[in-house]
Amino acid sequence: MLLCFPDLSAMKSIKVFVFIVLSMLCQSCTGLNSRIVDEAGANELRAFALTAKAQYTDEATDIPRASWPAGLSAADCKAVRYYIDGIMIVTSEDAKLTKGVFVGWNDDAPSSGSGIEFTASGERIYTFVEKRRQSRKSAP
């Protein structure tokens, strides 16, 4: 009986290619997140988060585009959502993942886990990647 083993050099090439593609995708998302913070301004985002806290109370609510600050409206954001302890500015979304910028209401770092990962990006500003679970509803 003849066993067929894969060519290990070909497998290594495929792994390198996949790694390069994934790295490029991560860099493009990080660049978009940084651009959003730059365009909207970190102070304006933090102020907007506090305003949203006073106006919206439902975690699953999309904040209407008309309520967004000018810097966010000009950026390529998909949605802004009320979230536990802050707002989520969605920069990309597909069937499995939601990515973007999280702006907290206070100095406490958000907790990663249960399908979401936060990475510090500035004072009360974090990038996030969340596994999609349920649909969200729009604010009235």
Percent of the chain, pLDDT > 90?
Answer: 16
Query: What is d(CA 33, CA 38) in angstroms, rounded to the nearest whole number?
Result: 9
| Upper half-sphere CA count for residue 52 (Cβ side, 13 Å) | 32
| Cβ atoms 88, 102 nearer than 8 A | yes
Interval 105-116 mean pLDDT:
86
Written as six digits, the tokens of 34 are: 């940084």
The residue among 84, 116, 112 whose CA lies nearest residue 98 is 116
C-alpha to C-alpha distances, 4 to 8, 10, 13, 110, nearest whole angstrom: 12, 14, 19, 50
**110 has pLDDT over 70:** yes
Higher pLDDT pick, 122 / 31: 122
Interval 69-78 mean pLDDT:
81
**21 has pLDDT over 50:** no
Interval 66-84 mean pLDDT:
84
Q: Are strands 137-138 and 61-62 parallel, antiparallel or unpaired?
A: parallel
Percent of the chain, pLDDT > 70?
Answer: 68
Give the pLDDT confidence score for residue 135 in this predicted structure.
Answer: 57
| Cβ atoms 59, 82 nearer than 8 A | yes
* pTM exceeds 0.75 for this model: no
Written as six digits, the tokens of 127 are: 């990038």
